[in-house]
Amino acid sequence: MAIFKYNEGPGFSYSDMNGYGSALSRYLWYKLYWILGGTILLILSILFWVRGIPNSFSERLNIAVSRFKMPQIISLVVVVVAFVSLGTSIFMATRSKEKNSASKQAELNAVKWEKSYKKYENYKQPRIVAVKADVAIYPKKRTYKANAVFTMINKTDTAIDSIFLNHNSLESTFEFNKPNILVLEDTVFNFDIYKFENKILPGDSLQLTVHVKSKENTVFQRKSPVLANGTFINNFSMFPSLGYSSGGELIDDKTRKKYDLPPNNLRPLPTDSTALGNTYISKDSDWIDFEATVSTSEDQIAIAPGYLQKEWTEGNRKYFYYKMDSKMLNFYAFNSARYEVKKEIWKGISLEIYYHKQHDYNLDRMLKGMKASINYNEKNFSPYQHKQLRIIEFPRTQGTFAQSFANTIPFSEGFGFIAAVDDTNDDGVDYPFAVTAHEVAHQWWAHQVIGADVLGATMLSESLSEYVALKVLEHQNGKPKMRTFLKEALDGYLIQRTLETKREKPLMYNDGQGYIRYQKGSLVFYALSDYLGEEKLNNALKKYVEKVKFQEAPYTTSLEMVNYIKDVTPDSLRYVIKDMFETVTLYKNRIVDAKSTALENGTFKVDIEFEVSKYRNDEKGKKYYGEKVGDTLSYTNEKLSKPLLSVKLEDYIDIGIFTEEEIDGVKKEKQLYLEKHKITQIHNTISIIVGKKPVEVGVDPYNKLIDTKSDDNRMKL
């Protein structure tokens, strides 16, 4: 605990929206505790201090005793009492009731949870089909109260006699509208089992009414998610879910073995037709009807997904009633803050940004990103399903991310609202625009197309949203500037994969690792649009969207989507599908040497020597070169101490030649030549004639491919 480690304690952070919140007071209390501790040491040091070197410790002790008069006694006693009292208060307020350390206890709890309740994992449960919520947020008290009525239907073909309620540790009550008995109430894991007097027959409906109240913050601990300004709470932290959740299980197989647990099973493969009954977002619902009344302080605006139907004030409270006019995922959130609002009606859609008063300098970038993303997705995939789109700012102290709910996107102030964008820097990334484009794309890739809870599900949401963001950026900035984004994604993927502790699956079988679904996914789809052509790829995706959008179970998979892409992929490029989706394939491409020769007619001959090779990794990171070990193509380069190896090459690789032009006093890169060449061997030489003096050459110069080293693809001449 922090009170036993010198100068330890909680930190603090600042946001423009919410200031220091309650974090600063906790920080100061801990610092006062350690100041008192330091003062005790200072008093003792003064008592024992002598000039020169004493003959012995006993002499130093005698000197200290002789100095220990009434003023020193009173000072030491007062400080010790204050130090011990404050330390005791902190200890009692923050101590864990468990005997083990927090991490050890979490491990033991995970084991007990799985051993006790995993047997119920496949027990059929009704599905939530409608939610009517009433959420009261109290920013001044930093608390909330919430009620919700969940309407459920037994969509299975069997009668259900029991419901398993998986809830949180908040003060809660649960009431069904059909007679039942509470046969289990686990107050440690907050897992209840209700057995019904009459079974819930197929097609039968029932209602669950939930009342929940947040905990209150203490002097030394933050226990409530409510902030004075900028509250952001989602339904998963507030309301219960149905059935057993595997999210609390141990992942590491060595740790599992220690507790006699079987190896951690990955999500099922997308080929498992029995595993397509749930989305990866929710296991207890499909698409729901949603409405909510949200109240807050009279000086704040409260927001939930849906359209504002009514707004009113009672006393010092302000009320907002929202209702969605179409089905949506069981995934929603509530926000409240002192917002300014920027609004624009565009193509019949109300584009709205709710922001902190001083944070207005990136609003136009965000609006531009909203429009560009809607345009791209509507043109290439399907119509936008709502008449409104809102971005809602929340404090950076709650995290630096954005999250897309139906027609509503909470967006951290630190992720775009306070970002400084340098318009004069060609290599700079316009994060407010780019992140907005990504999050808006989720209104299609997640909120129209949602994958089953199997391997590869996040490729259908995160990878496609990243792809849309890259294409929007390309149309905004031009292809030559895309290397900045592609190289950043490539380097991020390469760095993070070295930190993998378990296994790296191919993209279409990924298990939710961020570096695969985001960085690698964006690279793969962007490169694929280059190989197939953007229009051809998007037409395949459009047909896929038309078939699976807003579907009920069984839900779609990465396998189904890739099959649509395969249908438009020529035989000569089938290797691209295998490399990008079905295997973990990495390139080692580099320029070995290059030179330019001026010709008499004013043109230039460019001689390029370059290498192309690739290998594959199994799940444990072991390299192999083909379908099986030993299936290799090798080439001996005299400049290297050992031969290069590669998977058999029949690859089309970009070769680029570039010059520089001065525009407005600034030198900018200009592309002289960029063509794909079919490469069948590792070592290659090529000569190309260009019309202007070249300054740089490259193999895969824009880093579209997954290359293990992104910095040796180009060479200055």
Please write the tens of the pLDDT for every residue from 270-303: 999 999 999 999 999 999 999 999 999 999 999 9
Query: Can you give the pLDDT at residue 328?
Result: 97
The CATH architecture that domain 587-716 belongs to is Sandwich (2.60)
Band the pLDDT of 215: cuts 50, 70, 90.
Answer: very high
Residues of the chain with CATH 2.60.40.1730: 121-243+284-338
**Bridge-partner residues for 556, per DSSP?**
451
Query: Length of the chain in residues, anyone?
Result: 717
Residue 129 has pLDDT above 90, yes or no: yes
At 333-361, the pLDDT tens digits run: 999 999 999 999 999 999 999 999 999 99
Residue 631 in this model has a pLDDT that exceeds 60? no
**pLDDT per residue over 400-426, tens digit each?**
999 999 999 999 998 889 988 876 666
Q: Would you say residue 1 has pLDDT above 70?
A: no
Superfamily of domain 121-243+284-338 in CATH is: tricorn interacting facor f3 domain (2.60.40.1730)
Q: What percentage of the chain reaches a pLDDT higher than 90?
A: 75
How confident is the model over 553-568, as a mean pLDDT? 97
* CB neighbours of residue 111 within 10 Å: 18
b or e along 306-322 (b: 16 or more beta carbons within 10 Å of the residue's beta carbon)? beeeeeeeeeeebbbbb
The Cα angle at residue 259 between residues 257 and 262, in degrees rounded to 5: 45
- The pLDDT score that the predictor gives to residue 100 is 56
DSSP 273: G
What is the chain's Cα-based Rg?
31
Of the candidates 628, 642, 710, 715, the one whose C-alpha atom is nearest the C-alpha of residue 682 is 642
Which tokens hold the place of 580?
A: 């990008």
Position 634 pLDDT exceeds 60: no
**CA 332 – CA 104 distance, rounded (Å):** 33
Position 633 pLDDT exceeds 80: no
Q: d(Cα 48, Cα 51) in Å, to the nearest integer? A: 10
Kindly report, residue by residue over 62-79, the tens digit of the pLDDT: 888 888 889 888 988 999
